[in-house]
Amino acid sequence: MQSVNPATGLLIQTYPEQSRDEVQNIILQCAAAFSTWKQTGFDERSRLMSQAAGVLRQQREALARLISLEMGKVLAESRAEIDKCAWVCDYYAAQAATFLQDEPVATEGSRSFVSFSPLGVVLAVMPWNFPFWQVFRFAAPALMAGNAGLLKHASNVPGCALAIEQVFRQAGFPDDLFRTLMIPATGVEAVIENPLVRAITLTGSEAAGSQVAAAAGKAIKKTVLELGGSDPFIVLEDADIPGCAVTAGQARMINAGQSCIAAKRFIIVESRLKEFETLQTAVMQAMTVGDPLDEITQVGPLARPDLLAELHQQVTKSVEMGARLLTGGGRHGTIGSFYQPTVLSDVKKGMPVYDEETFGPVSAIIPVKNEAEAIAVANDSEFGLGGSVWTNDIDRGIRVARQIESGAVFINGMTKSDPRLPFGGVKKSGYGRELSHYGIKEFVNIKTIWAA
């Protein structure tokens, strides 16, 4: 397994893959650690999870640099990612005992209540775009609930995967409670089939989610899937265009546009179209593309050359079909996997940037006549992860938000994940929820206990 710097194309390090026997042994060790961990009280779990937050903060600079080197995120965003991981550790350290306390229910019995107990070893199949955050938003609640964790990380961020395992060890967790599997995607099904693995969570592509869900379904195991997104960014006629255009740039360009909940389809009421086009184009053109380790850089490279090629094909085909190119539209430089911040307008159904998820710095502007058409276009997607609505009337924004088919809608704000709020999607964006009290209850046995 190779770690390659996407800003330079140069090899960072090679890691040996684990054999099938090594993987099965790790699963055995992880299950043994679970048998003890599940008996550990919440006070001790909380103490260790708080220490994990401390390790993250102590090693913030080194871990952030590792993220930037392996997958190209700009350093400021990598630091913010580590900070967010520490936050989710602190959050569940403080809240898990309350979330999972017995819930009394009045029945004819003398006592009846719902209890929550851990399932066992949970396999996490995780992506490269937020190589620490995606893992910690699963691991913090799963471990606090009393489960053990196995991580099959994306093959281009093996250094991050091993570093996360070390964070939990350095925090004082049992050595085998959270383990990394250094295996290719083809090795995942055998892990799912192992009877000691009780549940699977995946964040990634629609194709990967379908394959994992099929394997888990065959084995009758619980899954949570967070898949792709093509989030609508709806701008109504009474919106603050200067303000939302700045946020539009940020919402599209976080992680060089490689985010499931990045704004991707900018649905603009025609009366404000030209103003929005002008301002968003200016915002995108002003962004500094370059070395992610340079503090002045705002946009780093795409994570792999194949991702750049796929994105460029989506842009090129959409322009051939009539989309108007306002800025960008091609590779940036000749070294590394950099793509120009790009804005397309007059985007219509049938174009790749309308129908497909674009994982990179490309904005697709879709003009609509009114609010009703904006809602229809927003819902005209296979995905349903997040979205935002921009209007000076909050009540109107809430009314529109209720009609959007997605797991989250933000009004006059950028869509983002937050440990206090549930995160997940509908339609082909997946099912199940992470974060908040909903997330920690995904991987527990919700058990009824009744006494006469």
Alpha helices in 298-379, H assignment, sequence order: 305-320, 352-355, 371-379
Cβ 429 vs Cβ 384: under 8 Å: yes
Which residue, 428, 318, 420, is CA-closest to 329? 318
Q: How many CA atoms lie within 13 A of 27 on its CB side?
A: 22
Exposed, middle or buried, 50 (CB in 10 Å: 0-12/13-18/19+)?
middle
Bridge-based pairing of strands 111-118 and 444-451 is: antiparallel
260 in active site: yes
Catalytic residue among 260, 371, 405, 434: 260
Please give the Cα distance from 420 to 381 (Å, whole number): 27
| Residue keyed to tokens 């710097």 | 5
Token output for 58: 């102590």
The angle at the Cα of 33, spanning 29 to 35, to the nearest 5 degrees, equals: 120
Please give the Cα distance from 62 to 167 (Å, whole number): 12
Exposed, middle or buried, 127 (CB in 10 Å: 0-12/13-18/19+)?
buried
Which residue, 412, 313, 423, is CA-closest to 360? 313
Catalytic residue among 70, 81, 165, 226: 226
Cβ 343 vs Cβ 327: under 8 Å: yes
226 in active site: yes
User: CA dist 260 to 309, 359, 419, Å?
Assistant: 19, 8, 17
User: CA dist 411 to 250, 265, 391, 393, Å?
Assistant: 15, 16, 8, 10
CA 213 to chain CA mean position, Å: 18
Please give the Cα distance from 197 to 174 (Å, whole number): 18
Please give the Cα distance from 145 to 41 (Å, whole number): 10
Active-site residue numbers?
226, 260
